[in-house]
Structure 1
Amino acid sequence: MEIIIGPLILVAQVALNLFWWALVISAILSWLVAFNVINTSNQFVNSVGSFLYSITEPALRPIRRFVPPLGGLDMSFIVLLLIILFVQNVLARLQYSIG
Structure 2
Amino acid sequence: MTSLYQILMMILDVLWFIMIAHIIMSWLINFQVLNLHQPIVAQVWDSLNRLLEPVYSRIRQFLPPVSGLDLAPLVAFIALIAVRIILRNNAALFY
Identity %: 27
What amino acid is aligned across from residue 15 of structure 1 in structure 2? I
2:30 to 26, 34, 53: 34
- Equivalent pairs counted in the alignment come to 95
| Contact 2:4/2:94, CA 8 A, preserved across alignment | no
Instruction: State the distance in 2 between where 1:98 and 1:8 align.
Output: 7
What TM-score does the superposition give when structure 1 sets the normalisation length? 0.85
| Contact 2:5/2:94, CA 8 A, preserved across alignment | no
RMSD over equivalenced CA pairs, Å? 1.5
Residues 1-99 of structure 1 aligned to structure 2 (within 5 Å): 5-99=1-95
CA, structure 1 residues 70+90, in 2 after alignment: closer, same or farther (shift >3 Å)? Answer: same
Contiguous gaps of at least 5 residues in structure 2: none
| Contact 1:20/1:84, CA 8 A, preserved across alignment | yes
| Superposition misfits of 4+ residues, deviation over 6 angstroms | none
| Contact 2:29/2:35, CA 8 A, preserved across alignment | yes
Contiguous gaps of at least 5 residues in structure 1: none
**Higher relative contact order at CA 8 Å, sep ≥6: structure 1 or structure 2?**
2
